[in-house]
Amino acid sequence: MIESKDNIDMRVLKTTTCKTLSGKSTLTYQIGCTPDSVIHLRITKNSGGGFFSNEWVKYEDIQAVLKERSKNSPIMSHFISPLLQGKSSNTSGFIMSILSHLKLVGPLPKKKRLHELLDPKPFLDQMEKLTASDVKPKGTTRKAPVKKRATTKKKATSRTNKTTSS
């Protein structure tokens, strides 16, 4: 089910970075949850400059799509595309990078872009702790700007030579 990113009341649980599958750039992504503790993922930055959609995607929808594939078939990033509203074809590959970073999928030996599902229990346990916490995660709030001390500038005084006429 696709939800509009503008209509979701989301609490950011974690903001972190990972490398893309190619290793050429670094992604910044967030894990968030709705008031009813539904986990979502989204990409917020890409150091490589490639386009992406910053929409929130439900973790359970991602898992459902990846589990629907034929048994014994590897996971490919394009399986995630139907969940996305955005027009960038990079987004599904970037989400696969996030899933790999979270150890929810793992690369198949000698297969650069093919993955297999891994046990989600460690991730889900961590999310349960984060959703239960009222503490705001590091990196999700802005600090108030530090006020600069007022400094007194010395006025530049110019000396003028006064000549007296006789």
Q: pLDDT class for 88, splitting at 50, 70, 90?
A: confident
Q: Are strands 105-108 and 111-117 parallel, antiparallel or unpaired?
A: antiparallel
- In angstroms, how far apart are the furthest CA atoms of the chain? 110
Helices (H) and strands (E) in the chain, counts: 3, 6
Residue carrying the six token digits 């979701």: 8
Residue carrying the six token digits 């190619």: 22
Question: Contact 36/46 with Cβ under 8 angstroms?
Answer: no
Q: What is the pTM of this model?
A: 0.75
Q: pLDDT class for 83, splitting at 50, 70, 90?
A: very high
**C-alpha torsion sign, points 92, 33, 99, 136:** positive
C-alpha to C-alpha distances, 136 to 28, 40, 56, 73, nearest whole angstrom: 18, 17, 19, 39
Q: pLDDT class for 1, splitting at 50, 70, 90?
A: very low
> On the CB side of 115, how many CA atoms lie within 13 Å of its CA?
25
**What is the percentage of the chain residues whose pLDDT exceeds 70?**
75
Where helices occur in the chain by DSSP H, the ranges are 59-68, 90-101, 121-132
Domains in the chain: boundaries: 5-132
